[in-house]
Amino acid sequence: MRIAFVHFPGRLSRLAEARAGAAPTEFLFGAVELERAGHEVSHHEVDPSAPTSRVARRLIDANAGRGHLPPHLQAAVLAGTRRLLPALGEADVVIATTTALASKLTVPSARFVVGWSSLAIAAALGLGATLLAAALPAWRAACTSTAAVIGGRGVEQPAHATRLVHIALAASLVAGSAAILLERWTRAASLGLVATFLLAFGAAFAARPLAEVLRSAWLRQRIASAGPTLRLAVAALGRSPRRTALTVATLGVGFAVVTWLWVVANSVEQSVIHVMPGIFRADLVVGSVRIAAGYVEAPLDEGVLRELEQVPGVALVVGEHSSDWHYANGPIAIHAVDRRFFLDPRFERWPLVGSAVPDVWRLMAAGEVAIVSTNLSHNLGMALGDFLDIETPSGPLRLRVGGMVDDFLSPRGTVLMSRELYVRHWHDTQITHALVRIAPDAEIGAVRAAIAAHVGARFSLRVLSVGELIDWFAAQVRRAFAAVFALAGMVLLVVGFGVADTIAAGVLERRREIAAMGALGARRGRLARMILVEASLIGVCGLVLALAVGLALGVLWVTMTFPDLVGWTLELHVPGLYFVVVSAAATAVCLVAALLPAYRSARIELGSALRYE
């Protein structure tokens, strides 16, 4: 067969090194292997300035995230390429290669670009937020008489818009709930984003009712038997409800965002750890050391299976192959496993989600049914018993859905079938992994070393235990969400400044009051403890708000918005230890922020403070 490889601009071609075995051959899509199999392979470079090249680059870059070009775009690109390179007319198969990103790249290359429009929007948002924050105090000051301002120094003026705050809180919660219900009905991720914003917006308004609790008669009755330090701290915060509410909102919304992202990150990591052992039911997983795309290894010849069966200590070997395909106008993954995997009791069965058709494993081995991933069911509305009509190189393939499993091979969905069925319809005998079961009396380390010695060097194999494979996937998830820790640090910094400003302003306004307490016999240590208790109360109120809203957002994203937005379905895993860490960190930040105001309150010079007006 005559096969032509067409390299568009930017594609790295190291054919000489690849033929010599000194460089990976994945970027050539198996060109060297095709040559060794007896096919006539030719390579052609496309002029970067040619119109066809520019059109192809735009088409491929625009569709890189889909993992493949739609069939009609493939035809357009290849038709234009044949006109550009007449020599391709003699080829039986034309394969176009580019630098387009694969859909499974774990760390895609990026380019730092600063857009003036983005800077302008950011500046406008910052200035707009500042003006909006100052508008209400300015309006309130303009509406207050000069005499009232002078007479009420150090005391917040009565609030006339408390009812509006409660109305805004109720409106945001109702609108957020409506957005959640609509998202559940329509599966539109945009509604989840709207609900997220409305819940965060409502959290900011909820800080005021939470601060009002500090001045309520109910709380005064509960702390009536407490010491004077707590009662004075509660009274001081109750006299400044707006300032207290602003600090509580800053702490609550900030930590709610961190809690939300941490719940999502932990759910992704734990879902991967839970799913992978269910998919790779083996003692050892053997794959290529070369990478085809992102985290997916380059395919291997199925002859590796026969070689592995001859290794001492190996009891059973099956092959599995993963490939990208198209279905229902979008990309999916095909995951094919040897039929003996479903029949031999030495391999544990995949953990099915929900019910399955009777005798599902025998039907899978016979190629009569397929198992689909839960995210394919979620994204395409597939249910148990429905039929998949897949266009294959050998014609249409109709399979009944026999069950469902969790799988992360493709964000849009995965179809799992027997490899014999896959080979029959796709004419692809390669494997991605060999799943190895060792003999009962064998030691896994010895078998692993024997595989590396007998087969590994010849086929460039990597031999991992399932635990090591899971650790690698979990590490990739942790890397992806590493920015959450940076965000948490920034939130801690902002909260620290906010609490320090609130406490310092309160101390400045209450200099005469603090001095009077000192003159009446209050010790400096008690005055400092009163300031620290105020900071602790602010921290407790902020934490209650942060954990409630953050957990609600985490549940929303794990169960609905993340699957609708990205495609993968997750299990909810709430990190219990995280709540302890966040509580301790927030309390520590509030106390540290209050140390300087507490020190200053304890060092107030009584005479000058009593004369302070």
CB 255 within 8 Å of CB 543: yes
Give the pLDDT confidence of 374-391 residue by residue, as tens digits. 989 988 888 999 999 999
Q: Which of 18, 41, 37 is closest to 93 using CA atoms?
A: 41
Please tell me the distance from the alpha carbon of residue 261 to that of residue 263, in angstroms, as a whole number. 5
Residue 64: pLDDT band (50, 70, 90) is very low
41 or 390, higher pLDDT? 390
> What confidence tens digit (pLDDT) does each residue in 246-276 have?
888 888 888 888 888 888 888 888 888 777 7
Q: What is the pLDDT of residue 29?
A: 42
pLDDT digits (tens, 9 = 90+) for 320-354: 998 888 898 888 999 999 999 898 888 888 888 88
Quote the CA–CA distance of 395 and 612 in Å, as a whole number. 91
CA-nearest of 313, 280, 270 to 467 is 280
Exposure class string for 148-168: b at 16+ Cβ within 10 A, else e: eeeeeebeeeeeeeeeebeeb
Looking at residue 18, what is its pLDDT?
A: 45
Q: Which comes out higher in pLDDT, residue 182 or 158?
A: 182
Average pLDDT over residues 393-418: 90
CA distances from 167 to 74, 132, 161, 611 (A): 55, 19, 10, 43
pLDDT at 339: 92
Residue among 578, 505, 593, 516 nearest 547 (CA): 578
Q: How distant, in Å, are the alpha carbons of 63, 500, 518 from that of 294? A: 17, 47, 68
Q: What is the DSSP string of 12-59?
A: ---HHHHHTTSS--GGGTTHHHHHHTT-EEEEEEPPTTSHHHHHHHHH
pLDDT band at 67 (very low <50, low <70, confident <90, very high): very low
pLDDT-based confidence at residue 612 (cuts at 50, 70, 90): low
Q: Where are the beta strands (DSSP E) in 237-365?
A: 284-288, 291-293, 296-297, 314-326, 331-337
Give the orientation angle of helix 241-279 with respect to helix 466-480, to 10 degrees: 150
SS3 593: helix
pLDDT at res. 387: 93
pLDDT of res. 404: 93
Residue 220 confidence (pLDDT) above 90: no
* Distance of alpha carbon 179 from alpha carbon 194, whole angstroms: 7
pLDDT at 174: 93
Q: Is 161 helix (H, G, I), strand (E, B) or coil?
A: coil
Grouping H, G, I as helix, E, B as strand and the rest as coil, residue 612 is coil
- % of the chain residues with pLDDT over 90: 16
The answer to whether the Cα torsion of 196, 200, 205, 209 is positive or negative is positive
C-beta separation of 583 from 544 below 8 A:
no
> From the centroid of its chain, how far is CA 123?
28
Burial class (CB in 10 A: 0-12, 13-18, 19+), 140: middle
pLDDT score, position 9: 46
In whole numbers, what is the pLDDT of the chain averaged over residues? 77
Contact 304, 436 (CB under 8 A): no
How confident is the model at residue 26, as a pLDDT?
40
**Any bridge partners for residue 463, and if so which?**
286
Residue 63 banded pLDDT, cuts 50, 70, 90: very low
Residue range 223-236: mean pLDDT, rounded: 78
| DSSP reduced 3-state for 157 | coil
Query: At 610, is the pLDDT very low, low, confident or very high (cuts 50, 70, 90)?
Result: low
| Single-letter amino acid, residue 165 | V
Dist. CA 388–CA 401, nearest whole Å: 7
Exposure class string for 384-409: b at 16+ Cβ within 10 A, else e? beeebebeeeeeebebebbbbbbbbb
Nearest residue to 81 (alpha-carbon basis) of 92, 70, 94, 69: 94
Give the pLDDT confidence of 93-114 residue by residue, as tens digits: 665 554 333 444 444 455 666 6
pTM over 0.85? The answer is no
- Using alpha carbons, select from 255, 271, 261, 267 the residue that is nearest to residue 484: 261
Residue 613's pLDDT is: 53
Q: Predicted confidence band at 369 (pLDDT cuts at 50, 70, 90)?
A: very high
- What pLDDT shows up at residue 12? 37
Per-residue pLDDT at 553 = 93
pLDDT at 84 over 60: no
Helix, strand, coil shares of the chain, percent, nearest 5, are 60, 15, 25
Rg for the chain, CA atoms, rounded: 33
